[in-house]
Amino acid sequence: MTDRAWFDAAKGDIPQWAASMPKDADGTTIDWDWVRSLDLAHGVGTIPESTPQSIHDALKADYATRERLESIIAQCNSAFMTDFDRFIGSYRLPRALAYANRRLNDNINTLLRLGEQQHLWVVSRERRGRTTVAVLRPYSGSRPSNDDQGMLNLSGETGDASAGNTAAENSDVKFPTTVALDDIQDRTAAILDARAERRKAQRFQKRAGDAAMARANLSGATSPGGAALPGGAAASGNATGHHPKPDWRDAYLPGRDVDAVMGIDIETTGIDPARDYIIDVGFEFMNMASPRPAGEPETYAYEQGYYAAGDAYGQSRLAFGVPPENAALGNALIAKLTGIDVRGRSSEAGYRLFDEWPQAQAGLLARLTQQPYVAHNATFEHSWFMLNVAGYAESYRAGRITIIDTLPMSRQWDPGAVPTNEHPYGDNTLDAYAKRQGALDSAHNERHLGLEDSHIMLVAMKHHLAALKAQGKGPWGPAGRAGVGGKSCGRKR
């Protein structure tokens, strides 16, 4: 299937999804006819005339569309993974919705900037709850005026002879007296908070139901004091006496027979796989127990000259681009963090977009299924692969992908990961973990490029496993497990 034909195939899956997923993540009944009507391939954003009211109306419409799309996308993972009868055959519809949503998000950010340029509002990016949102405030010269989210006065008759107002009055742009701001505020934080509260209430109800069932079954009569939790604190405690509580991340811990793995790290334009783009992928292979394969090149030149390839082999660095609209917006935060300036990564400059490159996706998937893949905070990579790599979700659900995470290795098995006021769960960043395990010199910091970060992660993992084996801890401790370990779907160990 070539070009954009896969969007039509994705829409062809709507009957399967409609039968299995009638409601979105916010409990709203999904209008699947509306989904079918969307032009996913060419854009679902609104392109306005360059007038203040048109910009306002376009932004309002785009926010509404994004909320509907993202609430559907957010429910797709749960519906797909709990489709035990395999009625839904493919995950390409969520990928297509995410593809369209990324371009829609670019359109929203373009409208926000256009409104700033026309002095319709001032945009500030603020952390609220679980996410960062764009907050619009009235324009008043060179600074935000106050927290009034109602009507914006652009008449210039405030008595404030600021340079900003003078510039506005001398501009060729004709400003209206008022523009409403209250109905074009980003509601993402409120939506995510409400969604989290619903999940919390559901978990509480489930625990209460389980407790009631246990009492009805007189379970306490046969196990006074309660049964020990599997993989409990005493089993996983580290040498400092700090005993981290088991949590869901422990499923990603390696087993004592782990050997050949692929380490991978991605760099992106943001943290949301339904809004942002993959711009850098780095991966390499390393054997945790057996010798390095014969015949592999002996050296590899990393960006950091002080990195030695050591036991690593099969290194690869892949660079990807962004749409012209995204490149035009720029991304100062990512440029500072990674050194990648998206203004030079436009598809018009010859860079291929990862979500438009089937061959790159197929090549990556082939490597991800050959052996366990390792990432630090692997749920991040996993969430991006679900919405970007054709066939990944299907392969994961079928049990063909195993994921190992060095983050819980740091949390559970690293004596240096002790709680502090600054880090209540210990400092478990890749930078801190790699330094504690001798994979990164204390004089240098994590590079935030895919290949370099993959390398220090694998070196740290190998050092850590060797120390744990010598001490009879971790996978070799009382609660350790045989086999490769890691998280996979549809398989029992």
Q: From first to last of its 493 residues, what are the pLDDT tens digits of the chain?
A: 446 899 999 999 999 999 999 999 999 999 999 999 999 999 999 888 889 999 999 999 999 999 999 999 999 999 999 999 999 999 999 999 999 999 999 999 999 999 999 999 999 999 998 899 999 999 986 444 444 333 333 333 333 433 333 333 444 444 444 689 999 999 999 999 999 998 888 888 888 887 777 777 765 544 444 444 444 444 445 544 566 788 889 999 999 999 999 999 999 999 999 999 999 999 999 999 999 999 888 778 887 888 888 899 999 999 999 999 999 999 999 999 999 999 999 999 999 999 999 999 999 999 999 999 999 999 999 999 999 999 999 999 999 999 999 999 999 999 988 888 888 778 899 999 999 999 888 877 778 888 999 999 999 999 999 999 999 999 999 989 999 999 998 754 4
Amino acid at 252: Y
The pTM is what? Answer: 0.86
Radius of gyration of the chain (CA): 26
Q: CA 312 to CA 334: how far, in whole Å?
A: 27
Q: What 8-state DSSP symbol labels residue 28?
A: P
Q: CA 451 to CA 370: how far, in whole Å?
A: 19
Residue-level pLDDT at 443: 76
Q: CA 143 to CA 164: how far, in whole Å?
A: 8
Question: Which residues are CB-contacts of 18 (< 8 A; sequence separation ≥ 6)?
Answer: 30, 32
Q: CA 396 to CA 386: how far, in whole Å?
A: 9
Residue-level pLDDT at 146: 41
Q: For the chain, how many residues are written? A: 493
Residue-level pLDDT at 101: 98
Residue whose structure tokens are 């990016």: 125
Residue-level pLDDT at 426: 81
Question: What angle, 0 to 180 degrees and rounded to 10, lies between the N-to-C axes of helices 5-12 and 92-117?
Answer: 120
Question: Which residues are CB-contacts of 183 (< 8 A; sequence separation ≥ 6)?
Answer: 60
Q: CA 208 to CA 215: how far, in whole Å?
A: 11
